[in-house]
Structure 1
Amino acid sequence: MWHDLVVVQIPIVEKVVRTVAVYALLLVLFRIAGKRGLAQLNTFDMVVVFLLSNVVQNAIIGNDNSLVGGAIGAATLIAVNSGVTRWLARDPRAARVLEGTPTTVVRNGTLVPGALHSLALRPSELEHAIRIQNGDTVSDVARARLEPDGQLLVTLKAGEQSATRDDVEDLRRRLETIERLLTEIADGRRPSR
């Protein structure tokens, strides 16, 4: 039993190569699938993720069920991902190639023609994202774009945005001025400015 736990049953280099190859393949597949594949996961996306992990498991581990072999595969996967993440943070060109670029889906309250279709994004998903970000309808949106990581960023038109603390403080100061002026008028004094 201990032998099966600690003895790697395939060469370590093969295990590392398998892990890197599967990582690269999945990276390419998700890049081809587009940003929509990384956006909010629906039921179908969850099924794919669960099945995908099972499908590629044997490609990573091969004929090795040892604990050490699994640890080597996991460590390789984490190291490769960490390296790619750091590379993307330093190299904007690599980020554009591997992650893609943002896609504008709404401009000045109007859907960008064909954008939802090309991203396989349903209007209901866009409307939901707008409501989450304090908008009511597409017409409230100055700009909305789907980022390479699948996040939908919505910028509301100025008149549709929520009041800020500064807005509330300015309103409070103005009301205090009005109250002071009304008190002076009620007391028969000439209002001061």
Structure 2
Amino acid sequence: MPPAAVAVASGDCGLSTDSVGSKGWGLPRYGAELYGCKEAVRREIHSAREVIALVMDSFTDMDIFKDLQEACSKRHVKVYILLDQASFPHFLKMCSNLGVNIEEQKLMRVRNINGNTYYTRSGAKIVGKVHEKFMLVDGIRVTTGSYSFTWTDGKLNSSNIIILSGPAVEHFDLEFQILYAESKPINPWLLSCSQEREMANQLIKPWISKT
């Protein structure tokens, strides 16, 4: 079995790439170039040439979203995004703030996913959340860890990611296929609410500027 290339990034030590065995860990080497989680994710997106498949619990980072848009529009990279349904309104708000209609993104597909569903003895329904966080790039590398694509994780929270290549990527590829099959298209009601709020903002802002 060929060795897996591993890169580790965190808010503390930055990122360093090393070649280790399948059971080893990549540790920052003396003199290696160091950078944080967000920069590591953006570098991975910039390196994509064919497809990006993303699973995330929360996604509100505008810079990362713009990078994905650029990958679609300039390099014709297909982007598939699976987001936890509970956090999806925040994603739509980010898109609205950027003036983006997600339905008009030709090479980008965004869908919702949930955790497991549990029914109590009284009949109450409890829907779990998705805590998986990983991004496949061209089917040859995967970025995963505690880092979410949010401003708070990028600026405030202590997070980490690991970038893998080699046989380990196949497991994430299979997991994405399973999650995609279980995912649901965007709820039209959420889209309409987001679009109505955007129209209201466009009407209110000129009025506020005159007062």
Do both share a fold (TM > 0.5)? Answer: no
> Shorter-chain TM-score: what band?
under 0.3
TM-score by length of 2: 0.23
Greater Rg over alpha carbons, structure: 1
TM-score, L = length of structure 1: 0.24
Structure whose residues are more often strand by fraction: 2
Structure with greater helix share of residues: 1
